[in-house]
Amino acid sequence: MKGQVSVPRPVTESPQDLRSPLAEYVAQQPAAKRSFHRWMRMVELASLAIPIVVFIVALYVSINWQTVPQVAIPTAWLCLPASVTPFLILVGVHAIVLRAFPPTGLLGNPLRVAYPIPGGQVDKMPLRVGRWALGWGWGLVVLALISGVFWGLFAYAAWTVNLAMLEPLIRILASVLGIGIAASIVVSILYSLYRSIFRSR
């Protein structure tokens, strides 16, 4: 399919092999894009220091709960998901400019969903290029902004003990979690059916 690069690979492939389609794609790009790609990888890696620092602070205030304001503990932990926002925005911008998604291996394997196919191999999520990559990149930027604003407001409401803000935010979070749990159960059931159908053949 146009806009995707997908090559079925054995289950035993290494992480380096999983990144090879991106490396091949980048090698074919102009020098300016290759330079941008290298710089963005370094900036993305540096941006991961933000959630690490926030996690350390949250851990510190939790351990020293007797000497810090009580509102500092929930605020610090609520800042943790918001602190990932800069990294996700950078990855989205990286994908938009490079026109490839995912543009980095820092996202890990969850984006490379494996599913069985006849013949005993698994197919990995393909490297998406062109218009596909633009859609994924813009989607990631928008999702990161929405998530960052949500968790930022949540942290602010916890710090100021603003119940008028906390109540609707808690309802939204509960609804999203409920939908997510229900969706994961449905996907799990469908995947089990899919596997049983292929095993019976």
10: pLDDT strictly greater than 60? no
Q: Identify the band that residue 4 occupies on the pLDDT scale cut at 50, 70 and 90.
A: low
Taking phi over 0 as left and psi of -120 to 50 as alpha, with beta for the rest, 3 belongs to left
d(CA 115, CA 78): 34
96: pLDDT strictly greater than 80? yes
* Residue 159: both structure tokens together: 């710090």
The predicted structure's pLDDT at residue 20: 63
DSSP string, 110-130: GGS--EEETTTEEEPPPEEET
d(CA 83, CA 46): 13
The predicted structure's pLDDT at residue 162: 86
The predicted structure's pLDDT at residue 163: 86
Taking phi over 0 as left and psi of -120 to 50 as alpha, with beta for the rest, 5 belongs to beta
Q: Are 160 and 152 in contact (CB under 8 A)?
A: no
pTM (predicted TM-score):
0.71
Give the number of other CB atoms < 10 A from CB of residue 124: 20
pLDDT digits (tens, 9 = 90+) for 106-131: 765 444 444 444 444 444 557 788 88
pLDDT digits (tens, 9 = 90+) for 15-46: 444 446 888 888 888 888 888 998 999 999 99
Give the number of other CB atoms < 10 A from CB of residue 71: 12
Nearest to 149 by CA among 56, 81, 96: 81
d(CA 124, CA 105): 14
The predicted structure's pLDDT at residue 45: 92
Which is it for the CA torsion 59, 64, 66, 71, positive or negative? negative
The predicted structure's pLDDT at residue 201: 57
